[in-house]
């Protein structure tokens, strides 16, 4: 469905008068006729800009509302302006498209959902040279990157035969599902471990090993489940506008955006007098924009600093005892369950009752590199400001024992009573307002698996099979005879994921992938993972298939995603590919009940039927938030924005109405009843013991460990702004705005004898990468920052010239499953090796000169 933008309500020259158009003025103009206010053209030389015709203006093009589609948690509107079957340019929400909308409408209740720089660059990705247009099969050794074009029939025949062979020879665990949300977060076409199409396809086929730990936020997933009994611990984005204090703990919304209009509501908070604090090894753009008090902290020591804050709050009696008594389990002696009265409670731990180590600010200072007085000041500030949001973000959890940091944050949030109140915060995962999100058949066949492992242990499993213990790979327990059976992984499917480039310790992965017998990559472009595949299947982008989008993280709206253009080349949707494969394997009708085998060639009616049924049934029939807009009107407008009568705040009902939390005790479990009762840890998916109350545990490497003698820098690898993980690394527009570079403190750089722009080598026992330096005062000494997601580019010695930090990371997850992406020591030296920012020859350019102390 497309709609033509109408210019009728708009004055042809509103800027001659009052701008922005107020609602009243707009109505006046509409009444007066659209020509009102037009000034006579002045001068003789009124040539057009870009006079080289044809320069199509927006209003001469067809307008189609759609959205961006990558895995950042946000989801914003893109408006395609197309001519024929070509998208000429993209714009974004300007207030016109929603119900009762008009150009410029942008209220606090219904803000525009404006796309970020990545979304705005989508046209360059859609038409990029890296697009996969035809099925291809490997001709050289795996990883060499040589492929030949084949027909769909040849490619799918090969895949189907190989799947049957693997299942027959190696059993129901032989194929590893490494689908992820890289290419798609739609309600119908979805790549994901749990709700994804591949999970259902392999499950129905009867051969699937699943990857259970989430690379981004497994620590906080664990923490939120243990503490609150749910991962939906998030407030909606607009709730941030109501805080008086926001502590951004390892959180950089200026880079990650984090759903809806989070960053913008935080600006509103600032204008209303909210104070900001940043606890982070870097002085980020968020710190600058929100004028935050920056507390630099050594990576991986966050839980220690939080413990010290808890000590200050307890010892100065700043905690909210009433809240603790009513809602919390195990915060102190009085709130311990009867059966565990003799066990250590959180206050005991903080005050050092048993271990004789009070977790004072002075205790934390040498661990964290934060002055005791600053810890004290922040603790008092947090306990004394109401309401205050301690936003414990994901990055500090991507660590050895990262779950302790998130559990410790939950303890601070509850002892100060900042949970369930507007302006407070229990995040955590931060998943907020929940909308209906699955339109394909999500039934008893969805997410069937025969083994499930910690996601970054697959290479370890493959390389050491069968001499692998279940705790080494984090094998999820089962109730049948497959419990404890180590999977003999012989094949991998990548659906919308570039995991080979994104998981830890890539050199180990390279060894492991050589042992596999089938590697299938389904994606819209070639990716570093695709280079290692046997079969490349070209997948239609979200511009080329029908779907509905919504943010999975924050933001309350649906965006319609029509088939804006026909799929390029021979590309097909994932759903089409799986359906055709299912027919070849004998379960086609069960896999896609609304389709017949023609679906591979014509998908429009089937997709429409799924989406309509979902919208009219689940979305309009949702008990908590029914949508009244019909499917046809939604398709015509392109967007539906929910009207919430107040900002959604997690656990508000629990606090205000006394509804029990979803934990076993019905309370906020700082003392975890589940963890306290585990006796054999090897039989759990964690594999190793996790304390039942939050504790500071020394990570296996950090700036405090002796290993710094050899590897003096602590490497962290946060999300970049100019990529969504690895997606968009190939976009020249984005690449000329930012560089893949290692950020170092200026004094460290001076010691290494390097300055901004010099090329260095980062190395440790696991790998070597080559990148330029950015030397700045904005980074803590001893810390090196290298953003994740650069497309690996190996030289003949196995050195990565692109600067992908995952050649240095360790494939040793935290017990709770958190990837230890940020637990890495490395050394740095100046090098003559070449840095290659991308696979093409495009030179990256810095847009500006960094100026210091003007």
Partner 1 sequence: MANEKDKAAIKEAVKRKKREHYVPVVPDTQLGFIHNNVDCIGCRACEIACKDKNGLPPGPRFRRVQYVEGGTYPEVFAYKINMSCNHCAEPACLPTCPTGAIFKRKKDGIVDIDSTLCIGCRRCEAACPFGAPQYNAETNTVVKCNMCVDEIDAGRKPYCVMACMMRVLDIGPIDQLRAGTYETKARGANDEVVRQVRNMADPELTNPSIVFVPHSKGKVG
- Contact set for partner 1, span 34-63 (CB under 8 A): 39-43, 45-52, 55, 57-59
Q: Cα separation of 735 and 236, whole Å?
A: 32
Find the part of the chain contacting partner 1 (CB under 8 A) among 119-127, 200-208, 557-565, 697-705.
119-127
**Residue with structure tokens 């509302």?**
65
Sign of the Cα torsion 527, 529, 533, 537 reads negative
H/E stretch holding 323 reads helix 321-327
**25 vs 594, beta carbon nearer partner 1:** 25
In the complex, what is the shortest distance from the CB of residue 849 to partner 1, in angstroms, rounded to a whole number? 8
Residue of 4, 6, 7, 23 that binds partner 1 (CB under 8 A):
7
**Judged by CB under 8 A, which of 75, 123, 311, 835 binds partner 1?**
123
Smallest CA-to-CA distance from 549 within 67, 2, 121 is with: 67
Tell me the number of residues near partner 1 by CB under 8 A.
Answer: 87
Least separation, in Å, of the C-beta of 313 and partner 1? 24
Which token pair is 834?
């070449």
Task: Specify the stretch interacting with partner 1 by CB under 8 A; choose among 131-139, 393-401, 548-556, 778-786.
Answer: 778-786
Residue closer to partner 1, measured from CB, 341 or 852: 852
Nearer to partner 1, 7 or 710 (CB): 7
Residue 37, exposed/middle/buried by CB under 10 A (0-12, 13-18, 19+)?
Answer: middle
Q: Which of 63, 66, 98, 121 binds partner 1 (CB under 8 A)?
A: 121
Answer whether 664's CB lies under 8 Å from 432's CB.
no
Binding to partner 1, residues 436-495 (CB under 8 A): none
Is residue 750 within the footprint of partner 1 (CB under 8 A)? no
Per CB under 8 A, which region of 469-477, 517-525, 703-711, 739-747 contacts partner 1? 739-747
- Find the helix or strand (DSSP H, E) in which 271 lies: helix 262-271
Per-residue x/- marks for partner 1, 324-343, CB under 8 A? --------------------
24 binds partner 1 (CB under 8 A): no
Q: Are strands 136-138 and 147-149 parallel, antiparallel or unpaired?
A: antiparallel
Which residues in 52-111 contact partner 1 (CB under 8 A)?
52, 55, 57-59, 89-92, 94, 103, 106
Closer residue to partner 1 in complex, CB, 13/357: 13
**Minimum CB distance to partner 1, residue 26 (Å):** 10
CA distance 590 to 445: 9
Determine the 3-state secondary structure of 72 from DSSP.
Answer: coil
Q: Closest distance between partner 1 and the C-beta of residue 271, in Å?
A: 5
Residue 614 in the binding site for partner 1 (CB under 8 A) = no
Contacts of partner 1 in 708-727 (CB under 8 A): 721-722
Residues 402 and 396: their CA atoms lie apart, in Å, by 7
Footprint of partner 1 on 783-802 (CB under 8 A) = none
To partner 1, the closest distance from the beta carbon of 9 in angstroms equals 9
Count of all residues that appear for the chain in the document: 854
From residue 364, alpha-carbon distances to 296, 309, 312, 414, 844 in Å are 14, 9, 12, 21, 42
Residue 248 CA: distances (Å) to CA of 10, 240, 292, 321: 41, 12, 9, 25
Residues 827-846 that bind partner 1 (CB under 8 A): 842
Compute CA distances 89 → 59, 121, 124, whole Å: 12, 10, 10
Q: Going by C-beta distance under 8 Å and a sequence separation of 6 or more, which residues neighbour residue 415? A: 310, 313, 314, 319, 320, 323, 324, 328, 331
116 contributes a contact to partner 1 by CB under 8 A: yes
Site for partner 1 contains 6 (CB under 8 A):
no
CB of residue 548 to partner 1, shortest distance in Å: 23
Q: Which of 15, 27, 129, 659 binds partner 1 (CB under 8 A)?
A: 15
Stretch that binds partner 1, among 129-137, 250-258, 344-352, 451-459 (CB under 8 A): 250-258
Residues 179-218 that bind partner 1 (CB under 8 A): none
Name the residue nearer to partner 1 (CB basis): 106 or 362.
106
Instruction: Check binding of 165 to partner 1 (CB under 8 A).
Output: no
Can you tell me the distance from the alpha carbon of 60 to that of 546, in angstroms, rounded to the nearest whole number? Answer: 24
- Rounded distance, CA 55 to CA 46, Å? 16
Q: How far is the CB of 282 from partner 1 (least distance, A)?
A: 10
**Is 117 among the residues that bind partner 1 (CB under 8 A)?**
yes
* 758: helix, strand or coil: coil
Choose, by CB under 8 A, the member of 6, 20, 161, 710 that binds partner 1.
20
CB of 288 to partner 1, least distance (A): 4
Site residues for partner 1, 294-313, by CB under 8 A, read 294, 296
Q: Does 778 bind partner 1 (CB under 8 A)?
A: yes
Q: Does 270 engage in binding with partner 1 (CB under 8 A)? A: yes
13 binds partner 1 (CB under 8 A): yes
Rounded distance between C-alpha atoms, residue 405 and residue 368, angstroms: 13
Query: Six-digit token pair at 134?
Result: 């035809």
The strand pair at 783-785 and 742-745 is best described as antiparallel
Q: In whole angstroms, how close is the CB of 848 to partner 1 at the nearest point? A: 4
Q: Smallest distance, Å, CB 207 to partner 1?
A: 43
CA atoms of 718 and 250, how far apart (whole Å): 10
* Both structure tokens of 49: 């800009």
- Please pick, from the candidates 4, 19, 660, 834, the single residue that binds partner 1 as defined by CB under 8 A: 19
> Distances from the Cα of 180 to the Cαs of 362, 428, 490, 679, 763, in angstroms?
43, 21, 19, 33, 29
Contact (Cβ atoms closer than 8 angstroms) between residue 243 and residue 661: no
* Residue of 702, 674, 701 whose CA lies nearest to 690: 674
Query: 140-155 b/e with 16+ CB inside 10 Å = b?
Result: eebbeeebeebebeeb
Please check whether residue 173 is in contact with residue 452, taking contact to mean a CB–CB distance below 8 angstroms: no
How many Å apart are CA 17 and CA 791, to the nearest integer? Answer: 50
Stretch that binds partner 1, among 198-206, 351-359, 635-643, 779-787 (CB under 8 A): 779-787
Interface stretch with partner 1, choices 195-203, 694-702, 703-711, 770-778 (CB under 8 A): 770-778
Site membership for partner 1, residue 431 (CB under 8 A): no
């Amino acid at each position: 469905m497309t709609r033509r933008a109408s210019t009728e309500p708009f004055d042809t020259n509103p800027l001659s008068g009052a701008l922005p158009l107020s609602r009243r003025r707009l109505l006046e103009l509409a009444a007066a006729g659209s020509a009102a206010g037009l000034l006579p053209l002045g001068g003789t030389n009124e040539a057009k800009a870009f006079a080289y015709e044809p320069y199509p203006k927006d209003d001469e093009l067809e307008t189609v509302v759609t959205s961006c589609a990558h895995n950042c948690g946000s989801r914003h509107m893109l408006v395609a302006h197309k001519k024929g079957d070509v998208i000429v340019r993209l714009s974004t929400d300007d207030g016109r498209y929603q119900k009762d909308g008009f150009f410029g409408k942008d209220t606090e209740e219904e803000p525009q959902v404006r796309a970020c720089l990545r979304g705005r660059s989508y046209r360059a990705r859609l038409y990029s040279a890296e697009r996969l247009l035809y099925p291809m099969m490997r001709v050289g050794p795996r990883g060499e990157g040589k492929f030949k074009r084949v027909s769909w029939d040849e490619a799918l025949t090969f895949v189907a035969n190989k799947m049957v062979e693997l299942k027959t020879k190696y059993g129901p665990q032989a194929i590893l599902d490494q689908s992820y949300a890289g290419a798609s977060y739609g309600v119908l076409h979805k790549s994901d471990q749990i709700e994804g199409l591949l999970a259902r396809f392999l499950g129905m086929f009867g051969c699937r090993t699943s990857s259970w730990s989430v690379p981004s936020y497994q620590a906080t997933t664990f923490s939120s489940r243990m503490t609150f009994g749910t991962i939906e611990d998030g407030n909606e984005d607009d709730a941030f506008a109501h805080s008086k204090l926001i502590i951004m703990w390892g959180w950089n919304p200026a880079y990650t955006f984090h759903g809806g209009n989070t960053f913008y509501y935080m600006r509103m908070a600032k204008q209303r007098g909210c104070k900001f604090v940043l606890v982070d090894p870097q002085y980020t753009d968020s710190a600058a924009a929100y004028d935050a008090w920056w507390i630099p902290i050594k990576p991986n020591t966050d839980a220690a600093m939080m413990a010290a804050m808890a000590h200050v709050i307890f010892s100065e009696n700043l905690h909210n005892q009433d809240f603790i008594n009513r809602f919390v389990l195990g915060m102190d002696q009085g709130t311990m369950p009867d059966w565990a009265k003799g066990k250590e409670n959180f206050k005991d731990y903080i005050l050092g009752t048993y271990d004789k180590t009070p977790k004072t600010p002075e205790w934390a200072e040498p661990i964290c590199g934060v002055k005791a007085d600053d810890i004290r000041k922040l603790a008092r500030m947090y306990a004394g400001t109401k309401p205050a949001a301690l936003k414990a973000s994901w990055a500090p959890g991507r660590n050895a024992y990262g779950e302790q940091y998130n559990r410790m944050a939950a303890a601070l949030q509850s002892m100060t009573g900042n949970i369930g109140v507007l302006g407070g915060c229990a995040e955590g995962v931060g998943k907020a307002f929940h909308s209906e999100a699955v339109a394909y058949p999500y039934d008893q066949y969805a997410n069937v698996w025969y083994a499930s492992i910690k996601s970054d242990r697959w290479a370890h499993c493959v390389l050491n099979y069968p001499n692998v213990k279940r705790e080494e790979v984090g094998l999820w327990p089962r109730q049948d005879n497959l419990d404890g059976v180590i999977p003999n992984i012989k094949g991998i499917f990548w659906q919308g994921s570039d995991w080979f480039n994104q998981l830890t310790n890539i050199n180990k992965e390279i060894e492991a992938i050589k042992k596999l017998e089938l590697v299938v990559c389904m994606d819209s472009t070639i990716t570093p993972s695709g280079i290692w595949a046997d079969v490349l299947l070209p997948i239609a982008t979200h511009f080329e298939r029908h779907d509905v989008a919504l943010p999975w993280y924050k933001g309350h709206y649906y965006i319609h995603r029509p088939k804006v253009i026909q799929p390029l080349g021979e590309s097909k949707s994932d759903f089409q590919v799986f359906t055709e494969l299912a027919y070849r394997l004998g379960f086609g009708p069960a896999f896609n009940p609304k389709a017949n085998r023609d679906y591979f060639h014509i998908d429009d009616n089937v997709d429409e039927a799924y989406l309509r049924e979902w919208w009219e049934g689940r979305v309009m029939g949702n008990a908590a938030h029914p949508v009244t807009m019909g499917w046809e009107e939604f398709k015509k407008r392109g967007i539906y924005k929910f009207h919430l009568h107040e900002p959604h705040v997690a656990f508000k009902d629990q606090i205000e109405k006394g509804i029990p939390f979803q934990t076993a005790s019905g309370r906020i479990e700082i003392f975890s009843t589940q963890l306290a009762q585990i006796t054999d840890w090897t039989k759990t998916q964690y594999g190793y013991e996790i304390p039942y109350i939050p504790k500071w545990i020394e990570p296996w490497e950090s700036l405090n460990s002796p290993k710094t003698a050899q590897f003096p820098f602590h490497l962290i690898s946060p999300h970049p702004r100019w990529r969504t993980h690895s997606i968009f690394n190939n976009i020249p527009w984005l690449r000329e705005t930012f560089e893949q570079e290692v950020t170092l403190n200026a004094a460290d750089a001076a010691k290494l004898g390097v300055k901004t722009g010099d090329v260095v080598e980062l190395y440790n026992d696991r790998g070597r990468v080559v990148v330029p330096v950015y030397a700045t005062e904005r980074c803590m000494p001893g810390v090196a920052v290298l953003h994740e997601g650069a497309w690996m580019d190996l030289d003949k010695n196995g050195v990565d010239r692109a600067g992908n930090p995952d050649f240095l990371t360790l494939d040793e997850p935290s017990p709770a499953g958190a990837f230890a992406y940020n637990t890495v020591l490395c050394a740095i030296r100046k090098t003559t090796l070449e840095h290659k920012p991308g696979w093409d020859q495009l030179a990256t350019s810095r847009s500006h000169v960094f100026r210091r102390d003007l």
